[in-house]
Chain A
Amino acid sequence: MTVPDLAPDAIPDMARPAEPLAPKVIKWAVTFGILIPFIWAVAGLEVSPSRMWAAPGQVWVLISGMFPPDFTEMGRLMTKLLESIYVAWIGTLIGAMFSFPAGFMAAANISPRWLVAPTRAILSAIRAFPELILAIIFIVPFGLGPFTGAMAIGLHSIGTLGKLTSEVIEGVDDGPLEAIGASGGTTMLRMRFGVVPQAMPNIVAYWLYRFEINVRASAVLGLVGAGGIGAEIVARLRFRGDWPKAGAALILTIVAVLVIDAASAAIRRRIITGQPSQSPISKWMTAITGSHRDPRLTADPS
Chain B
Amino acid sequence: MTTFAEPQAQVRPPEPRTGRTVLLPFIAFAAALYVIGYAGEAGPVWGLLIGLSTFGLFWWIKVTRSFVDGIVLVVASTISYSMFNVVVASREIGVTSGLAFRAALPIAIIGIAAGWVTQRNSGGTRVSTIVISASAWAGGAYVALLTAVAVGVLDRVRPGQTTTQLLTFGLFIAVGVASGILGATTNVSFWLGKATPLAVGGGALVTILAWNEIGFSAYEIWVKLLNIGDFLGEFWPPQFTWPKSLGQPSSFNMGKALIETFQIAIVGATVGCFVAAPLSFMASRPTAPNAAVYWISKSFLNLVRTIPDLFWAVFFATAVGFGKPFAGALAMIMFSLAIMAKLLSETVDAIDLGPLEAARAAGATHGQVIARAAFPQVLPNFIAYGLYVFELNIRASVVIGFVGAGGIGRLLDERRQFFRWDEVMAIVLVIFAVVLVIEAVSIYARRRIA
Contacts and interface: CB of A to CB of B under 8 A. Distances in A.
Contacts of B210: 85-87, 89-90
A250 B303 CA distance: 12
Contacts of A230: 308, 310-311
A220 B402 CA distance: 11
Interface residues of B, number: 90
Given A292-B119, A292-B190, A220 B311 contact: yes
Leading 8 A-B pairs by shortest Cβ distance: A299-B16, A293-B193, A292-B124, A86-B210, A41-B263, A41-B266, A216-B308, A220-B310
A230 B399 CA distance: 14
Contacts, number: 218
B306 A254 contact: yes
Contacts of B266: 37-38, 40-41
Interface stretch (A5-13, A131-139, A178-186, A193-201): A131-139
15 contacts: A40-B266, A41-B267, A46-B326, A47-B326, A55-B320, A75-B97, A78-B97, A133-B412, A217-B308, A220-B309, A270-B195, A288-B126, A291-B125, A292-B122, A299-B18
B319 A55 contact: yes
Nearest to A42: B267
Interface stretch (B32-40, B287-295, B343-351, B429-437): B429-437
Given A140-B234, A292-B129, A133 B431 contact: yes
B213 A146 contact: yes
A191 interface: no
B212 to A, nearest CB: 9
B167 to A, nearest CB: 20
Contact of B267 (A45, A51, A270): A45
B411 interface: no
B90 interface: no
Given A37-B266, A292-B191, A298-B193, 15 more contacts: A44-B259, A62-B315, A82-B150, A83-B214, A87-B214, A133-B428, A140-B421, A145-B214, A147-B216, A216-B306, A227-B214, A253-B311, A289-B190, A289-B193, A292-B123
Interface stretch (A102-110, A112-120, A122-130): A122-130
Chain A CB within 10 A, most for which of B16, B235, B266: B266
A123 B124 CA distance: 50
Interface of A: 30, 34, 37-38, 40-42, 44-47, 51, 54-55, 58-59, 61-62, 75, 78-79, 82-83, 85-87, 89-90, 93, 124-125, 128-130, 132-133, 136-137, 140-142, 145-147, 150-151, 216-217, 219-220, 223-224, 227, 230, 233-234, 237, 250, 253-254, 257-258, 261, 267, 270, 288-294, 296-301
Contacts of A301: 13, 16
The A contact surface, by secondary structure, is helix
A298 B395 CA distance: 49
Interface of B: 13, 16-18, 96-97, 118-119, 122-126, 128-129, 132, 146-147, 149-150, 189-195, 199, 206-207, 209-211, 213-217, 220-221, 224, 227-228, 231, 234-235, 259-260, 262-264, 266-267, 270, 302-303, 306-311, 314-316, 318-320, 325-326, 329-330, 383, 395-396, 398-399, 402-403, 406, 412, 416, 421, 424, 428, 431-432, 435-436, 439
